[in-house]
């Protein structure tokens, strides 16, 4: 293989990528990274917002192409129309990233009951990932039948769903993200060999909650990683770009942990009590 061919394997030029939840946080970083690798990017937010517009404007200012679309995934019946609108933007989508998730850690949702948080995560994180994948996958299979290409779906799990974490939030996220991870492996078998499906499982990523977390959580996030630091949204974005690229054409049905190398936490006395933050 020539040097040019190797370079092309890591390029997203001429590809279209859709990234849900791309207004802020990890989704925004993934969308920007996809555009930076040459892809046209369909953006998504629950609402048309200044954050979604800012992501769109940054891509356009850098010479890229993006298409912002709003949809509230808490309403399951809205998803088919959303997928239809996404396809109408460009006529084809090669890679789909399900990054939308309910925020239960910051703002008013942080004070919701356990059941309210679970219902929100189940609707937005689990149902939207599964239902959107089931809508998108068959379209990609049909595209693959008409043309050779690189088609993929990438979902977002959580590394500690594999072994658990104490407290309310550990129970909430291990239940819901564990479901996403399990579904991803089944979806990979459903759509093989035409569409690759993988799941990224980030560890402690410094998003809005991480910026404001207490000293105890700051210390824990660092010490549970062999790299002795928080992960960043850009760390997740780099892996998402690779999975969308032809360089990952033999990668499917995988749960890829992004945690700097997990180091099990040894709790001090009293730290095992149920936590809500």
What is this structure's pTM? 0.92
**CA-to-CA distance for 66 and 17, rounded, in angstroms?**
9
Contacts of 51 (CB under 8 A, 6+ apart): 23, 24, 28, 45
pLDDT at 273 over 50: no
CB 192 within 8 Å of CB 89: no
CB 39 within 8 Å of CB 18: no
**Residue-range domains of the chain with CATH:** 13-257 (3.40.50.720)
- Summarize the confidence of residues 58-63 as an average pLDDT: 97
- Summarize the confidence of residues 178-203 as an average pLDDT: 97
pLDDT of residue 101: 94
> Which tens digits make up the pLDDT trace of 77-94?
999 999 999 999 999 999
pLDDT confidence bin for 212, thresholds 50/70/90: confident
Closest CA to 234 of 27, 19, 10: 27
Calculate the average pLDDT of the chain: 92
Sign, Cα dihedral of 123, 126, 129, 131: negative
Long-range contacts of 173-176 (CB under 8 A, 24+ apart): 173/121, 175/118, 175/121, 176/118, 176/121, 176/122, 176/125, 176/126
Half-sphere exposure of 35 (CA within 13 A, CB side): 24
Sign, Cα dihedral of 212, 213, 219, 225: negative
> Which tens digits make up the pLDDT trace of 144-160?
887 767 999 999 999 99
> Which tens digits make up the pLDDT trace of 166-177?
999 999 999 999
pLDDT of residue 8: 82
> Which tens digits make up the pLDDT trace of 105-132?
888 999 999 999 999 999 999 999 999 9
pLDDT at 39 over 60: yes
**CA-to-CA distance for 148 and 242, rounded, in angstroms?**
19
């Amino acid at each position: 293989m020539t040097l040019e061919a190797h370079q092309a394997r890591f390029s997203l030029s001429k590809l279209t990528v859709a990234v849900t939840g791309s207004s802020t946080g990890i989704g925004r970083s993934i969308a920007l990274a996809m555009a930076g690798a040459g892809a046209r990017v369909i953006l998504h937010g629950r609402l048309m917002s200044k954050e979604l517009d800012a992501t769109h404007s940054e891509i356009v200012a850098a010479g890229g192409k993006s298409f912002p679309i709003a949809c509230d995934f808490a309403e399951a019946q809205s998803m088919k129309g959303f997928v239809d609108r996404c396809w109408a933007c460009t006529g084809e989508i090669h890679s789909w990233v399900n990054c939308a998730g309910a925020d239960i850690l910051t703002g008013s949702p942080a004070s919701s009951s356990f059941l309210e948080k679970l219902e929100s995560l189940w609707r937005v994180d689990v149902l939207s990932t599964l239902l959107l994948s089931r809508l998108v996958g068959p379209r990609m299979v049909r595209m693959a039948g008409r043309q050779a290409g690189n088609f993929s779906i990438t979902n977002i799990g959580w590394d500690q769903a594999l072994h658990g974490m104490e407290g309310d939030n550990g129970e909430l996220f291990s239940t819901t993200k564990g479901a996403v991870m399990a579904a991803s492996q089944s979806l990979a078998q459903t759509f093989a060999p035409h569409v690759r499906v993988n799941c990224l499982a980030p560890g402690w990523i410094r998003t809005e909650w991480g910026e404001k977390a207490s000293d105890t959580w700051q210390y824990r996030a660092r010490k549970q990683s062999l790299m002795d630091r928080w992960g960043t949204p850009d760390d997740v974005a780099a892996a998402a770009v690779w999975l969308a690229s032809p360089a990952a054409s033999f990668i499917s049905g995988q749960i890829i942990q992004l945690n700097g190398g997990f180091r099990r936490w040894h709790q001090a006395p009293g730290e095992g009590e149920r936590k809500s933050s």
